């Protein structure tokens, strides 16, 4: 894999401390940005979550790609330049790349902020014969802009945004993000969007509050990370993991509930914050879509729906969109 890394003079711990400060001082509901769930420990815990019996999302995404990749790539005109936003380990992308491999030499560009994920992805997909990998260690849109700059004449760009990561954006940030993606594309380029669909509330709650407690550990790890990286003194057993369904936004929310009145200091954020008993920190939202809502979202962002595949076992949609 060729790797393109960003040159930056911003100290990541400084940025982390500033965002923690802002989120914990927010009037009303305290918050932490969900991107901080994914350090090395968090990413490894997420891999375990993906294998849990209660969390069918990743398996549904994989099943759809395994069963439909040939049909998905049949909608594309050769040659294709593939850019994936948040490739993770790259396991499910294999099906699409193998389907493309039968047709032509293809360039695949995973875009990830995590160096570890890019390395895992290159190891996972490096053996596919006609695929060359160029990894971009970047934020999604910065990376996509750079990939688009490397487009060769006549190449169609296919953007992959799988695993329902779009559901972790607040609304209307999701449509704003898709519009920004659309602006980088040319008419006729494609976006394959994976989204988790609405299902019965108990099933959704179990998926985010599994019986082994892996999701609880994933959630609490953000406090451990604050302790490790920016000098916090959170006592982890003084917080409980909580998953709740918000019917207004149709999202599962993850919170960390303070089990007592307590003060927590975070040295690098220059902050001491008081928690009352029962007060929560909101750490993540995971939006669940309906099919009509998905189509509206795509249209509002400047895309047209080419085809949609839905998993029967675990309602989840793979939607192929083209830039108008």
| Residue ranges in contact with ligand AVI by CB under 6 A | 49, 57, 163-165, 167-168, 208, 215, 284, 286
CB of 261 to ligand AVI, least distance (A): 28
Contacts of 283 (CB under 8 A, 6+ apart): 31, 32, 34, 37, 219, 222, 254, 255, 256
Residue nearest to ligand AVI (CB): 286
CB nearer ligand AVI, residue 87 or residue 215: 215
Would you give the distance in Å from CA 222 to the centre of its chain?
Answer: 16
CB of 257 to ligand AVI, least distance (A): 16
CA 128 → CA 73, 78, 110, 151, 286, distances in Å?
16, 18, 15, 21, 33
Contacts of 6 (CB under 8 A, 6+ apart): 137, 138, 142
Q: Where are the alpha helices (DSSP H) in 164-233?
A: 173-184, 201-207, 214-230
Quickly tell me which residue has 């898709």 as its tokens.
Answer: 178
CB nearer ligand AVI, residue 69 or residue 164: 164
CB nearer ligand AVI, residue 94 or residue 255: 255
Beta bridge partners of 273: 264
Structure token digits, residue 283: 């750490």
CB nearer ligand AVI, residue 42 or residue 143: 42
CB of 286 to ligand AVI, least distance (A): 3
CB nearer ligand AVI, residue 206 or residue 284: 284
CB nearer ligand AVI, residue 165 or residue 308: 165
**Computed from CA positions of residues 190, 152, 78, 165, in that sequence, does the dihedral angle turn out positive or negative?**
negative
CB of 293 to ligand AVI, least distance (A): 17
CB of 217 to ligand AVI, least distance (A): 11
Contacts of 302 (CB under 8 A, 6+ apart): 178, 179, 182, 323, 324
CB of 107 to ligand AVI, least distance (A): 25
The secondary structure element, H or E, covering residue 291 is helix 291-300
CB of 106 to ligand AVI, least distance (A): 26
The secondary structure element, H or E, covering residue 322 is strand 316-323
CB nearer ligand AVI, residue 45 or residue 131: 45
CB of 159 to ligand AVI, least distance (A): 17
Contacts of 93 (CB under 8 A, 6+ apart): 65, 84, 87, 108, 110, 121, 125, 160, 162
CB nearer ligand AVI, residue 23 or residue 163: 163
Looking only at the bridges linking them, the beta strands covering 30-31 and 280-287 are: parallel
Whole-angstrom Cα distance, residue 99 to residue 287? 30
């Amino acid at each position: 894999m060729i790797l393109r890394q960003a040159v930056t003079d911003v100290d990541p711990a400084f940025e982390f401390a500033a965002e923690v400060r802002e989120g914990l001082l927010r009037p009303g509901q305290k918050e932490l940005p969900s991107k901080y769930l994914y350090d090395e420990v968090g990413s490894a815990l997420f891999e375990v979550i993906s294998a849990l019996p209660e969390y069918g999302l990743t398996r549904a995404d994989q099943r759809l790609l395994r069963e439909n990749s040939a049909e998905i790539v049949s909608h594309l005109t050769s040659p294709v330049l593939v850019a994936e936003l948040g490739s993770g380990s790259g396991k499910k992308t294999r099906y699409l790349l193998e389907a493309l491999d039968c047709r032509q030499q293809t360039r695949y560009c995973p875009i990830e902020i995590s160096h570890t994920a890019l390395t895992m992805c290159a190891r996972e997909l490096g053996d596919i014969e006609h695929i060359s990998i160029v990894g971009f260690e970047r934020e999604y849109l910065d990376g996509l802009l750079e990939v688009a700059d490397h487009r060769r004449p006549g190449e169609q760009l296919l953007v992959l945004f799988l695993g329902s990561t779009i559901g972790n954006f607040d609304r209307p940030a999701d449509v704003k993000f898709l519009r920004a993606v659309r602006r980088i594309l040319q008419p006729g380029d494609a976006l394959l969007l994976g989204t988790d669909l609405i299902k019965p509330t108990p099933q959704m709650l179990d998926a985010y509050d599994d019986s082994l407690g892996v999701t609880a550990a994933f959630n609490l790890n953000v406090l451990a990370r604050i302790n490790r990286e920016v000098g916090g003194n959170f006592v982890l057993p003084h917080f409980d993991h909580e998953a709740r369904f918000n019917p207004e936004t149709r999202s599962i929310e993850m919170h960390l509930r303070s089990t007592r009145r307590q003060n927590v200091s975070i040295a690098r954020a220059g902050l001491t914050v008081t928690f009352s008993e029962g007060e929560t920190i909101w750490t993540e939202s995971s939006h669940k879509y309906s099919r009509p809502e998905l189509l509206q979202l795509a249209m509002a962002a400047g895309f047209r729906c080419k085809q949609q595949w839905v998993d029967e076992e675990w309602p989840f949609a793979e939607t192929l969109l083209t830039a108008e």
